[in-house]
């Protein structure tokens, strides 16, 4: 079957794709780094006031603020700039729905790494040093990373809480569950659940603070360990979300096999990731797969069919494969009673 890309109809779109797209991305990322939205959350400001607050040179400050207006993130009313309602809700770090944790990491790590895509494609090697373990020891960097993870799992949590029958489930463990954002949000929807997170030991302190903040600490347990070296906690339901894509196919297969040992008879394994469609019509998940090339040793996105094979090979029966939100796929697999 021929794949058609109807987005590109002429030279204007080609130039937009090759130039304007990364320029406008960087305008947003710099605005976050400069705290434009945080400053404007306090009060609307004129161009000289905002420029002074942000300590910018006058040469391009008006163009920079006007670009943010043109992108729909700021409003200019007469001489004063303010946040649009959407920017005020999602880009002001003081707001609970802030998604900037994700974008801050984009700015610091992914934006420079993407500049080296050609080299990564030639060598198959990541362009970011494997500093993940070091980052876990650095509270500021860890917080920014967790902000990014939480931004994603907060959007998916209500869908996961409603797309599975949790009534008969007593224990639920999220493998690679970070500071417990997903389990906490599912536990808030289903008050009978006792929830568990398995993750690397440095995540434990963050886990206790976060589950406390979300009001589920009395039902939440952290299991420190390395999921390739240590046994996983046993539970009625295990989730593995946005984890398998960080590892090579052989490592994913091993982890799914290990999950089979940990799921109680009659229980289920739920895997979700940015899985790849059969036809490459949507660049979104393919771009994330290239992110994995740039940032991990062996990771990539993968088709749902491959995940099915790992699950069936481990002994599960796949019950359902369905879309989760705009870009993820959720697979539920059952272990026989
Ligand atoms: C991409 S994050 C996904 C976090 C979470 N599932 C979510 O969707 O928000 C990957 C998680 O796997 C954890 N992780 C990485 N290597 C691990 C290992 N060897 N053992 C246990 N956890 C690990 C990381 O600390 C991190 O929390």
pLDDT in tens, 83-139: 999 999 999 999 878 888 778 878 888 899 999 999 999 999 999 876 677 788 888
Structure tokens at 171: 């224990």
Tell me which of 190, 196, 245, 264 is the catalytic residue: 245
The residue whose CA has the least distance to atom 13 of ligand 1 is: 176
Higher pLDDT, 137 or 332: 332
- Give the Å distance between the CA of 46 and the centre of ligand 1: 44
Return the number of other C-beta atoms located less than 10 Å from residue 336's C-beta.
Answer: 8
Q: Which pLDDT belongs to residue 101?
A: 76
Average pLDDT over every residue of 10-37: 91
Q: Which pLDDT belongs to residue 1?
A: 45
Confidence of residue 240 (pLDDT cuts 50, 70, 90): very high
Of 8-22, 45-59, 132-146, 263-277, the one with minimum mean pLDDT is: 132-146
Average pLDDT over every residue of 329-336: 98
Average pLDDT over every residue of 262-281: 95
Q: Residue 73: CB partners within 8 Å, gap ≥ 6?
A: 28, 31, 37, 83, 84, 86, 87, 91
Query: What is the phi/psi pair of residue 239, to 5°?
Result: -115, 145
Ligand 1 binding pocket mutation candidate from 141, 183, 199, 259 (most atoms within 8 A of CB): 199
Ligand 1 binding pocket mutation candidate from 197, 200, 239 (most atoms within 8 A of CB): 200
Structure tokens at 307: 């995940």
Q: Which pLDDT belongs to residue 4?
A: 52
136 Cα nearest atom in ligand 1: 25
Average pLDDT over every residue of 322-336: 96
Question: HSE on the CB side for 132, CA within 13 Å?
Answer: 10
Q: Based on the residue annotation, tell me whether 245 is a catalytic residue of this protein.
A: yes
Q: Residue 2: pLDDT above 70?
A: no
- Give the Å distance between the CA of 176 and the centre of ligand 1: 4
Q: Residue 61: pLDDT above 60?
A: yes
Confidence of residue 5 (pLDDT cuts 50, 70, 90): low
Q: Residue 115: CB partners within 8 Å, gap ≥ 6?
A: none
Ligand 1 binding pocket mutation candidate from 243, 296, 298 (most atoms within 8 A of CB): 243
Choose among 319, 327, 315, 305: nearest CA to 241: 327
Q: Residue 141: pLDDT above 80?
A: no
The residue whose CA has the least distance to atom 5 of ligand 1 is: 177
Confidence of residue 268 (pLDDT cuts 50, 70, 90): very high
Structure tokens at 223: 């299991």
Average pLDDT over every residue of 137-166: 87
Q: Which pLDDT belongs to residue 144?
A: 72
Q: Which pLDDT belongs to residue 19?
A: 82
Distance of alpha carbon 207 from alpha carbon 1, whole angstroms: 48
Q: Residue 244: pLDDT above 90?
A: yes
Q: Which pLDDT belongs to residue 335?
A: 98
176 three-class SS: coil
Q: Residue 196: pLDDT above 50?
A: yes
Contact 181, 209 (CB under 8 A): no
- Give the Å distance between the CA of 51 and the centre of ligand 1: 40
Distance of alpha carbon 329 from alpha carbon 319, whole angstroms: 13
Query: What Cα–Cα distance (Å) separates residue 95 from each residue in 69, 91, 92, 210, 243?
Result: 21, 8, 6, 16, 27
Per-chain mean pLDDT for the chain: 93
Confidence of residue 16 (pLDDT cuts 50, 70, 90): confident
Output the ligand 1 site: residues, CB below 6 A. Answer: 149, 152-153, 176-178, 199-200, 203, 226-228, 241-243, 246
């Amino acid at each position: 079957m021929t794949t058609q890309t109807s987005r590109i109809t002429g030279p204007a779109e080609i130039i937009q794709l090759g130039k304007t797209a990364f320029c406008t991305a960087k305008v947003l990322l710099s605005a976050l780094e400069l705290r434009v939205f945080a400053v404007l959350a306090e009060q609307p400001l004129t161009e000289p006031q905002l420029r002074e607050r942000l300590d910018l040179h006058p040469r391009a400050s008006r163009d920079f603020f006007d670009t943010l207006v043109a992108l729909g993130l700021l409003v200019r009313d007469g001489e004063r700039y303010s946040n649009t309602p959407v920017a005020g809700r999602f880009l002001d770090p003081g707001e609970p729905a802030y998604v900037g944790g994700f974008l801050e990491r984009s700015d610091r790590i992914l934006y420079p790494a993407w500049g080296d895509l050609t080299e990564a494609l030639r060598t198959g090697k990541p362009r970011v040093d494997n500093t993940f373990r070091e980052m876990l020891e650095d509270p500021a960097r860890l917080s920014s990373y967790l902000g990014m993870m939480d931004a994603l799992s907060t959007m998916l949590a209500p869908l996961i809480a409603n797309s599975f029958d949790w009534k008969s489930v007593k224990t639920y463990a999220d493998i690679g569950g970070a500071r417990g954002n997903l389990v906490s949000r599912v536990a808030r929807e289903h008050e009978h659940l006792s929830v568990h997170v398995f993750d690397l030991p440095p995540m434990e302190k963050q886990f206790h603070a976060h589950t406390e903040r979300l009001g589920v600490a009395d039902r939440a347990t952290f299991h420190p360990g390395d999921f390739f070296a240590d046994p996983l906690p046993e539970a009625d339901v295990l989730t593995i979300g946005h984890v398998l894509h960080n590892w090579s196919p052989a490592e994913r297969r091993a982890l799914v096999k290990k999950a089979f040992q940990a799921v109680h008879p009659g229980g289920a394994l739920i895997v979700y990731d940015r899985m790849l469609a059969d036809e490459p019509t949507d660049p979104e998940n393919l771009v994330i797969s290239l992110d994995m090339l740039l940032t991990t040793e062996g990771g990539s996105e993968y088709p749902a069919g491959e995940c099915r094979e790992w699950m069936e090979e481990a002994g599960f029966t796949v019950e359902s494969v369905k879309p989760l939100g705009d870009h993820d796929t959720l697979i539920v697999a059952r272990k026989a009673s």
